Amino acid sequence: MKIPMTEYLRIDLETEKWECRVCDHVIAPAEGNYKEGLLVHNRNPQEIHPPVIDPKMYRYTFAPDPDWVRILEFCCPKCGTQVETEYAIPGHPPLWDMQVDVPALKAQWAARGPEMLPDAGPVVAPGRAHSH
């Protein structure tokens, strides 16, 4: 059984791995930090939150201060889907944000069965998904 844990990540209970829900890429061991199997980009926050008022004229512009905060963008190495973002103080270790008790997850879903799986998730476009 594969349990959707976030919009883009699932845990395969048999193989005990984090997987990408868009392209089926096997990312990392389920008991570990899924981020270790992703790619990271250190994004200047001003590229996402553009200055509304002119940064040449003003100190505060509606754009975050790139010396104070960065956006860590984590993407799937195979399909490039942006799996998670983390607004981080420069140099702060990225968080191990989901530390899953895998045996407990297995027991929980053994009792539930696959018909209880939540059905929400990403739109998987043809060509981006793993070909079967």
Partner 1 sequence: MKDLNTTGPAPSAEDMKLIKQFLEDTTLFLGPDPEIMQNHDLMERSPDEELAIGQNFDHHMIARIRDRLQSGCDEGYEMVEQMGAAPGAKWGDVITGIYTASGDLALASAGGVLLFSSVVHHPIKFIVKNWMNEPTVGVRDGDGFIHNDSRYGNVHNTDQSMILPIFHEGRLVCWVASTVHEGENGAIEPGGMPSMAESPSDEGLKMSPFKVVENYQIKRDLLTFLQNSVREPKLQLEDMKVKLFACLRIKQRIEETLNTEGPEALVAMLRLTMEDVRTEVKRRLTEWPDMSVQTYIIQDSTLRENCVVKVNCKLTKKGDRLIFDFRGSSPEFTNRATNTILGGLKGMLSQLFLCYIWPDLPRGQAAMAPIEVITDPHSILNCSYDAPNSQSLMSIFTGFTAGQHAVAKFLYSCPEKYTKVHAPTFNMINTFIWGGVSQHGETLGNLCADLNGMGAGATSNRDGEHALAPIFATMADIGEQEVNEEDVPFLQLVSKKMTRDAIAPGKYRGGQGYTMMVATKDSEQWGFMTTAQGAKIPPIQGLFGGYACGTYPLSKVKDVDVYEILQSEPEKFRHSIEEIMNERPFEEASYTTHHMGMGFEISKRGELFMISQGAGAGYGDLLERDPVGVVKDIEEGLISAEVAARLYKVVFDPATLAIDFEATEAAREEERQARIARSMPYAEFVKDWTQPKPPSHLKYFGCWGDDIDTLYMGAPDVTRRADTPKPNYMPHPKDVRIAELEARLANAGIDGGELQ
Q: Does 44 bind partner 1 (CB under 8 A)?
A: no
Residue type, 126: P
The interface mask with partner 1, positions 57-96, x = CB under 8 A, is xxxxxxxxx-xxx-x-xxx-x-xxxxxxxxx-xxxxxxxx
Closer CB to partner 1, 16 or 61, in the complex: 61
Contact 23/76 with Cβ under 8 angstroms? yes
The interface mask with partner 1, positions 13-32, x = CB under 8 A, is --------------------
Instruction: Please tell me the distance from the alpha carbon of residue 74 to that of residue 26, in angstroms, as a whole number.
Output: 15
Closer CB to Zn ion, 20 or 105, in the complex: 20
Neighbouring C-beta atoms of residue 102, cutoff 10 Å: 14
